Structure 1
């Protein structure tokens, strides 16, 4: 065994973990590390920079539900922040942002984590080990055997049994009426604490961003632009017609797929889509005649999803016409 992998085996076997007299040592750090390892394996994580993503949060919850047999609370922000006490984990704050901590020097909330932390960096040598399948499997087994002795046999189920809420949320986004979806959020707000609710919204927003491009065949509904890449790079945005901050609506009819430049133009009211799905360009727009001009799309019928129930909501489009479109 190489010196490098021996070093990281020692570090992974001696994680600094919080202790609760009634619950024992906290499982949060090993769960987060297993989630990162699995996303590296799936090529969702492709560098040593670990960003706070819905995919990572979902994988964290999935592993927690299957492997953790204590009554600890699955707070994602805690290990992401406190892993900074490990020599292989380096937190990088967003420019001009200060990470707010409690009197006990813990992170204040998941919301604060997202707002203040840009990403965490794994040691490059550790990341390289995790991209090598045999070495990754060794380190993965170190974590499972050291910290989950009572549930080791469950680890093979991960991936076969997704996070309980995942498919349920997807079904709500794809099939529910706006009012039903909004009621689900009200019920969640009443039953979850602030951190759990913020995590839930983050996951739902991430699933919305993935689902909208998918049902539009990864094409911009106005320009038809479609770019595929082996680098897992997404070039089509999911755009809320009525912003989520106003609508509390992540259902498909409140979304359209747009290229980044048209997404920005839509959000700023330079373009809109009529309830009959025809594009209008704001009369405030003045531009030169290029292949990038907005005016070329004026009067164009947008591309629509395969199911009529997924078509953009005429009521939402009417709201955008009235409240956002610049006339």
Structure 2
């Protein structure tokens, strides 16, 4: 029996918890999500991160496939898929940041993201899924076995890019076409995905450049040196749209949050009279006063004047 047959057999006999709605559909949805990440080149060379892509695509696939009232808990299959085996060996492995095995199901996705360094598939399965043909065979088999009634509609939605994660990305990016779609944000996983998209897109839109100082900093290790700063704090606005954001270096981020700097209606920098610093220092904040901030080229991504006005009114300590 070849590797494809062995894994197909295992995937059609997944251990599923029994709920009052029938067998729990979490694991097959999760497997389909892993396949999609590989297909899109988002698997980081078999290093699956607990990030917006993994959680967001899981939520999208859940909404496209599951018609029962089961809860769409991403953390369940992420942990429990370890118990499924092929030839007596697990094909899903979780690697924690402290190298201590994860012995219990962690229900908070934010906590999970802090504890887990990455997860990986067995080498044999990962190699198998590099083949477009075999990937499609496995995906079709999972869909036909677990979600036969949603088989065609699943592909229809994927083809036109109509799904939860696609729409959520468009919402964060202030896409006018998605403003009229009803996207419900009420679980921790929804907030996690939106927050991580905000933190991803703001530095991208500002080209890793601090909007106030013009300092651009990147590294070959993909580290983030520029912060995604909310204009109106998320705790108040629950707004992760990029129009509620600025790209700032950490010291300017703190100064902005504490009301020591702000931005006027012409996108010029305001500096509080409450600052005490060496005025002649080359990096003095007062030297920034009156300078125009750097903003994205497209107006769609510009910081909202309404949000900036709120910051000037509620946070900025003018003097």
Q: Shared fold by TM > 0.5?
A: yes
Residue range with higher mean Cα deviation, 241-250 or 198-207:
241-250
Residue 143 of structure 1 corresponds to 142
Q: Deviations over 1:152-199 (max 9, x none)?
A: 2223224225334853684477389xxxxxxx99x96xxx5xxxx211
Is residue 304 of structure 2 the alignment partner of residue 310 of structure 1?
yes
Is residue 33 of structure 2 the alignment partner of residue 35 of structure 1?
yes
Q: Structure 2 matches for 1:226-265, cutoff 5 A?
A: 237-245=227-235, 248-258=238-248, 262=249, 264-265=250-251
Residue 51 of structure 1 corresponds to 49
What is the distance in 2 between the residues matched to 1:318 and 1:99?
A: 47
Aligned 8 A contact 1:175 1:251 in 2:
no
What is the distance in 2 between the residues matched to 1:31 and 1:50?
A: 16
Aligned 8 A contact 1:57 1:203 in 2:
yes
Residue 209 of structure 1 corresponds to 199
What is the distance in 1 between the residues matched to 2:217 and 2:55?
A: 28
- SS of the residue corresponding to residue 239 of structure 1 reads strand
Aligned 8 A contact 1:58 1:163 in 2:
no
What is the distance in 2 between the residues matched to 1:97 and 1:116?
A: 10
What is the distance in 2 between the residues matched to 1:123 and 1:297?
A: 55
Is residue 273 of structure 2 the alignment partner of residue 275 of structure 1?
no
Structure 2 gap segments, 5+ residues each: 85-89, 177-181
Taking a change above 3 Å as real, the CA distance of residues 156 and 250 of structure 1, as seen in their structure-2 partners, is closer
User: Which residue of 71, 94, 101 maps to 1:91?
Assistant: 94
What is the distance in 1 between the residues matched to 2:286 and 2:123?
A: 47
Taking a change above 3 Å as real, the CA distance of residues 100 and 174 of structure 1, as seen in their structure-2 partners, is farther
Aligned 8 A contact 2:227 2:253 in 1:
no
Taking a change above 3 Å as real, the CA distance of residues 111 and 257 of structure 1, as seen in their structure-2 partners, is closer
What is the distance in 2 between the residues matched to 1:57 and 1:15?
A: 21
| CA positional deviation for 1:241 | 3.8
| CA positional deviation for 1:40 | 1.4
Taking a change above 3 Å as real, the CA distance of residues 234 and 148 of structure 1, as seen in their structure-2 partners, is farther
What is the distance in 1 between the residues matched to 2:288 and 2:76?
A: 49
Q: Deviations over 1:91-142 (max 9, x none)?
A: 22333989685xxxx4434344334333322212322222232232222223
| CA positional deviation for 1:34 | 0.7
Aligned 8 A contact 2:96 2:115 in 1:
yes
Is residue 112 of structure 2 the alignment partner of residue 113 of structure 1?
yes
| CA positional deviation for 1:48 | 1.2
Aligned 8 A contact 1:94 1:118 in 2:
yes
Structure 1 gap segments, 5+ residues each: 177-183
Residue 79 of structure 1 corresponds to 77
What is the distance in 2 between the residues matched to 1:278 and 1:246?
A: 23
Aligned 8 A contact 1:273 1:279 in 2:
yes
Aligned 8 A contact 1:28 1:76 in 2:
yes
What is the distance in 2 between the residues matched to 1:136 and 1:88?
A: 16
What is the distance in 2 between the residues matched to 1:255 and 1:316?
A: 12
Query: Which structure has more helix as a fraction of its residues?
Result: 1
